[in-house]
Structure 1
Amino acid sequence: MVNVVDNNLYNNELADLISSITSKNRIIMASNRGPVEFQVNQEGNLQARRGSGAIVTAFSQLLQEFEFSWVANAMGDGDRRALDAFENRAIPSPLPSQKGHVRFVVTPRRTYHKFYNIICNPLLWFLQHNMWSSPYTPNVDSTVTDAWTNGYVMVNEAIAASVLDEIKLDSNGNSKENIVIVQDYHMYLVSEIVRKNSPDSFIYHYVHIPWPDVRSWQLIPEFMRESIFRSLCSNDLVGFQSERDVYNFLDSCRTFIKDAVINYDDKSVKTNKHVTFAKVYPLSINLNEVRNIAKAPRATEFSEKISGYLRDHNIVRVDRTEPNKNITRGFRAYGKMLERHPELRERVVFLAFLVPSRTHVKQYERYQDEINNIVDNINKTYGNPEWVPIRVFSENNYAQAMAGLKVYDTLLVNPLVDGTNLVTKEGPVVNDKNGVIVLSETSSTFDELQDGVLSVSPADIEGTEQALYRSVTMSLSERQDRSKALLDIIEKNDVDAWLRIQFTDIKNIFER
């Protein structure tokens, strides 16, 4: 029996909590992408739409009910034109679903390129996902050090300056304190700058991606990692996706910050009399929003489109085409299952919904080629005119992915390492078939969902093949038990619970 959570109770508790905080404090968000994006339509006019990304989605309900200030990089010509129209001032969100305003930060395109395409991706992203092949990469040469100084540092300084502008604006004749929430790996240096100029502000940095161990951080120069760790220890609170990430962070602070005092009991770092708490807040989903998208006409349209490909057992994966997602090993395991169990041929199909990612990065381009080669080989080896073993849908189409999640009998999620993997939570919420999840132990959601999944080691092709076969042959009663267990966990830990826990900690730490 699934214990259905009273989400209205959670909503009321959350609303009361945020109201109590915002009555005394202003909330200022800082991230690479903002909550609203402006585009230029065919007539040359500006059109606004909700910003993309998991964090905007996660905060969408709060944005409807509470005033906010949000600082973000201008993403394109539309954002720049909107900024010009408001004479470089903060822009009130024109969306009816959002209160508050966004303050866009514009840096020279070359500066942003160095910031995003050299330091953020690939240097930090690869480092934090353990994707570098250390005998060969990374190579921190003059190009990279220049990109750090004249890209990453400059963009972080510009974001911090705009945050401080918001603080000064809010402080004029206002007795409220400021809570600054900084998002992810793009903004590691912001907190220290804000702390130096606004020492009484509460600052919280939320990290979406994995936090690697000490040896990984030792790949990059001391001046880079010291800047990162010193800045993060300027926060009052740092949030991570897993306990493993928290302990890696504490160990790294102990190693890289000579005067740091680490308390593993309360998970804190003390530097120069300032205490930074490190806590776990696994990102979750808005249950109602996900279910509504899955039931919407576009998702229904795609359900009809893919219905002709379905077989007795449907294996599905939904991923960005990134090397850390481990897509090729998943296909190899599936091919091995077809080789060992010919009776399954034509009875199963693998539907892969893959979103092209960072196609300008050569490592990603090579990985896409590897995926194509493996798919072609399996389809040629085992397929026939009536049956294609693997169907790939290569496009950024969330409604189509939702259609796939509704019909999986097995959902394969086998990343080498990841941060916010929401597919493992969206799947059980919309699935109609008591689907089973095969999940690698290194996924960010494994600790939370392990009681309801079939676990695999991401490099273990043999073990993944066995898990796939077990899922295909599993009894209905076991499938039902596992599906209900997952749904129970996800409903108890939805996005409202995620927000409530964070803001409770913010309030308690701030009021100490």
Structure 2
Amino acid sequence: MEVVSKAASTSKVVVVSNREPVIHELTARGIKAVRPASGLVTGLEPIVRAVHGTWVAHGSGPADRHVVDNHDRVGVPSEHPEYVLRRVWLTRREEDGYYYGLSNNALWPLSHIAYTRPVFCRDDWEQYEAVNEKFCDAVLDEVGEDRAMVFIQDYHLGLLPRMLKNRRPDLTIAQFWHIPWPNREAFRIFPWAEELLDGLLGNDLLGFHVQYHCNNFLDTVDRGIEAKVDYEHFRVFRGGHPTTVRPFPISVDFHQIEHDSDASGVACRLKELQAEFAQTPLKQQFIVGVDRIDYTKGILERLRGFDLLLQRHPELKGHVTFLNFSAPSRTHVEAYRELNDKIDDLVDDINWRHQTEQWVPVQFLRAHHDYSTVLAAYRLADVLMVTSLHDGMNLVAKEFVASRSDELGSLILSRYTGAARELKDALLVNPYDTDGLADRLNQALTMPESDRIQRMQRLRQVVAQGDIYHWGTRIFQEVLQLHRGGE
């Protein structure tokens, strides 16, 4: 952090994201600042605070407009401001086209191998362009005439780097793409492929979670746009401008999650969950899932694996309960509505075939669960299942590991997550292989406690050593190196 602060003394630091780090809400007691649960905020806010930087983001809170000044700025935190939040306002049409349309109905399914067809609409693309231009104006307004380092987040702002570089070639620009990058055969169906690639090649540094996604990006560029790719140094030259491409595996705040999980409030919530779901006097084990309801998360595949486990091991009936803590997501998008219907049908079918008078095998808990409930769910789990069909990283797996200071609990983890490349002591699975899922579940439920503890100890060491601060520091050190090179 000291290195970052020293370098930032001569240059501004600007972070840009769709999601804002603080939302202002109206309450009975007045306006309240709420910090949304976000690994991104956890990793970047300490850096922005340390350098007294600026964070540019979409203002989406109901009271956001009430607290900004004439330049749409607000100090954070409000009592003793350490950085500036600059809000960008979007119309309903802009948000529908840029966020729900192009970002989440096109780029999201395009980037994830989950066999959901992306939807391409010219108007959505035009809104995406317009909103990226709005963000560009806001960033340049904040930078003024100063030298600056700009750090852009995710796939919502894929055109912003080139827009900034065209207007201010002296800026040092980096971007982290938080989702997978597809192979070139998948990406080539995107109607605006060349425009998006050109936008991203406005960056000086472009980061992905894993090397595989870096390789996919370089291969896509090599075959899809006029540019020179240097595979030896993982660099692309477009119009003479170099873009360095690097892997930076994101993580969680290990020590904070560990501390919070041991708090008395979480212990009380854990007792409530145990009392609520201990349906019989028999010894109970809990299989737990925690995720957004999204077709990339493999929720149906997870349920089918549990169903097959009960078919193969009827002696487990009454002894094992499956709990899925699921946050509703993008419910006005057709693909998500269809997924919810399929989940309900499958849960009803499993419960109808396996339940007894005292015991229901699956409890699907659809709600926006608060932080203490999520931590209690992690502590409740004898087995946590992460069965993503495709995931850039998956922080649920790392949060679970960080929460288990008791060194108990088993992690079943999809091979198709970025986390699987680091968490090698998890029980790795192919979520499409229902037989394999059932086998892994049985292995996790019957594993000797000594083996379970040893695996968890090694997992915790990995996550503790590569926490969110390590991620943020590594990226900023690389950005600073590029920044100094441009001086």
| TM-score after normalising by structure 2 | 0.94
- Verify the 8 A CA contact 1:285 1:495 in the aligned structure 2: yes
Which amino acid counterpart does residue 447 of structure 1 have in structure 2?
A: R
Of residues 315, 331, 348, the one that matches 1:359 is 331
1:231 is the counterpart of 2:199: yes
- 3-state secondary structure, aligned to 1:92: strand
- Verify the 8 A CA contact 2:13 2:51 in the aligned structure 1: no
1:165 is the counterpart of 2:141: yes
**Cα displacement (A) at 1:330:** 0.6
**Cα displacement (A) at 1:274:** 1.1
Deviates more, 1:156-165 or 1:350-359: 350-359
**Cα displacement (A) at 1:267:** 1.1
Which amino acid counterpart does residue 123 of structure 1 have in structure 2?
A: A
- 3-state secondary structure, aligned to 1:81: helix
> What is the aligned partner in structure 1 of residue 170 from structure 2?
200
Deviates more, 1:73-82 or 1:24-33: 73-82
- 3-state secondary structure, aligned to 1:59: helix
Alpha-carbon spacing, 1:286–1:472, altered in 2? closer, same or farther (3 Å) = same
- Verify the 8 A CA contact 1:17 1:500 in the aligned structure 2: no
Which amino acid counterpart does residue 372 of structure 1 have in structure 2?
A: D
CA–CA distance in structure 1, aligned partners of residues 82 and 372 of structure 2: 27
**Cα displacement (A) at 1:132:** 4.7
What are structure 2's unaligned runs of at least 5 residues?
A: none
- 3-state secondary structure, aligned to 2:24: strand
> What is the aligned partner in structure 1 of residue 476 from structure 2?
503
1:35 is the counterpart of 2:25: no
**Cα displacement (A) at 1:249:** 0.5
Q: Deviations over 1:183-212 (max 9, x none)?
A: 101100111111011111110011111111
Q: How many residues align?
A: 478
- Verify the 8 A CA contact 2:105 2:119 in the aligned structure 1: no
CA–CA distance in structure 2, aligned partners of residues 20 and 215 of structure 1: 44
1:26 is the counterpart of 2:12: yes
Which amino acid counterpart does residue 22 of structure 1 have in structure 2?
A: A
Of residues 355, 362, 366, the one that matches 1:390 is 362
- 3-state secondary structure, aligned to 1:417: coil
Alpha-carbon spacing, 1:401–1:77, altered in 2? closer, same or farther (3 Å) = closer
Q: Deviations over 1:450-487 (max 9, x none)?
A: 2x111111211111111111111112222122111101
1:273 is the counterpart of 2:250: no
Deviates more, 1:90-99 or 1:101-110: 90-99
**Cα displacement (A) at 1:51:** 4.1
CA–CA distance in structure 2, aligned partners of residues 448 and 353 of structure 1: 25
1:251 is the counterpart of 2:219: yes
Of residues 444, 447, 456, the one that matches 2:421 is 447
1:31-110 matches, within 5 Å, as: 31-42=17-28, 45-83=30-68, 86-96=69-79, 99-110=82-93
- 3-state secondary structure, aligned to 2:349: helix
CA RMSD, Structure 1 to Structure 2 (Å): 1.8
**Cα displacement (A) at 1:297:** 4.5
Q: Deviations over 1:129-156 (max 9, x none)?
A: 13454xxx4453xxx101211x101100
CA–CA distance in structure 1, aligned partners of residues 36 and 272 of structure 2: 28
1:91-490 matches, within 5 Å, as: 91-96=74-79, 99-133=82-116, 137-140=117-120, 144-149=121-126, 151-168=127-144, 171=146, 177-221=147-191, 224-258=192-226, 260-308=227-275, 309-310=277-278, 311-397=283-369, 398-431=371-404, 432=406, 434-450=408-424, 452-490=425-463
Which amino acid counterpart does residue 370 of structure 1 have in structure 2?
A: K
What are structure 1's unaligned runs of at least 5 residues?
A: 1-14, 172-176
Q: Deviations over 1:264-296 (max 9, x none)?
A: 222111112111111111111112321233234
Which amino acid counterpart does residue 443 of structure 2 have in structure 1?
A: R
The runs of at least 4 aligned residues of structure 1 exceeding 6 Å deviation read: none
- 3-state secondary structure, aligned to 2:107: helix
- Verify the 8 A CA contact 2:209 2:250 in the aligned structure 1: yes
Alpha-carbon spacing, 1:304–1:107, altered in 2? closer, same or farther (3 Å) = same
**Cα displacement (A) at 1:97:** 7.7
Q: Deviations over 1:119-177 (max 9, x none)?
A: 111111111113454xxx4453xxx101211x101100000111011111x62xxxxx3
